Amino acid sequence: MKGFRTALWAELLKARHALVAPLTTLGFLILPLVSGLFMLILKNPARAQALGLISMKARLTAGVADWPTFLQMLAQGVGIGGGILFALITAWVFGREFSDHTVKELLALPTPRGAIVGAKFALLALWVISLTVLVFVVGLGIGAVVDIPGWSPGLVWSTLATILTVALLTGLLMPWVALVASVGRGYLAPMGWPC
């Protein structure tokens, strides 16, 4: 596609210099941290008694401190948290041009509009996959530090496939968010999507 590489490079450059990238990364890393905290609480119920309500929440949410439960919590978190976080990222990628008042300049470029939109979606796909894999890898590290039982390589690979599938299916909903951001001409309109 003519101009696609140039448009993708420009989108990557915008994302690299924006504060949104590290903030979304930190926001999504809360998922493995909280899941690890729940596993730690379930693994040491005597210490959890001193924590009060959070131990009850951990028991109700997770139930057992083992790898299948921990990885299932990660997969569910990617589905739920990903829907919200990926929508925020999509709203930023597509609504930024309107908020920065650069949409007129963007439309005046000799790059085809299809290449610009395709580059935005390619950036979004790279961002979603990177965040998902990062959460999974950090989750594996936290699970190893907490030392929960039930590790098996087959379980890890099947969970990785499940998590990537969940992220893909959630990512396939994002063109609607991009459409709402474009029609609404900014960030605000697509923020109602996760509700």
How confident is the model over 113-154, as pLDDT tens digits? Answer: 777 888 889 999 999 999 999 999 999 999 889 888 888 889
pLDDT at position 160, please?
93
Q: List the one residue out of 171, 168, 131 whose CA is nearest residue 31.
A: 131
Q: Does residue 164 fall inside a structural domain? A: yes
Q: Which of 20-29, 91-100, 181-190 has the highest mean pLDDT?
A: 20-29
- pLDDT of residue 90 exceeding 60: yes
Alpha-carbon distance of 24 to 114, in angstroms, equals: 27
pLDDT at 10 over 90: no
Is this prediction's pTM over 0.85?
Answer: no
36 domain residue, yes or no: no
Q: Is residue 47 part of a domain?
A: no
Phi then psi for 19, rounded to 5 degrees?
A: -80, -15
- Is 58 a domain residue? no
- Answer yes or no: is pLDDT of 108 > 70: no
Domain assignment present for residue 114? The answer is yes
Could you list the residue range(s) of the whole structural domain that residue 173 is in? 4-29+65-192
Q: Is the pLDDT of residue 59 over 90?
A: no
Q: Is residue 53 part of a domain?
A: no
Q: What is the pLDDT of residue 128?
A: 92
> Count of domains in the chain?
1
For residue 113, being part of any structural domain is answered with yes
Inside any domain, residue 69: yes
List, as one string, the DSSP characters of 99-163: HTT-HHHHHHSSS-HHHHHHHHHHHHHHHHHHHHHHHHHHHHHHHHHHT-S---HHHHHHHHHHH
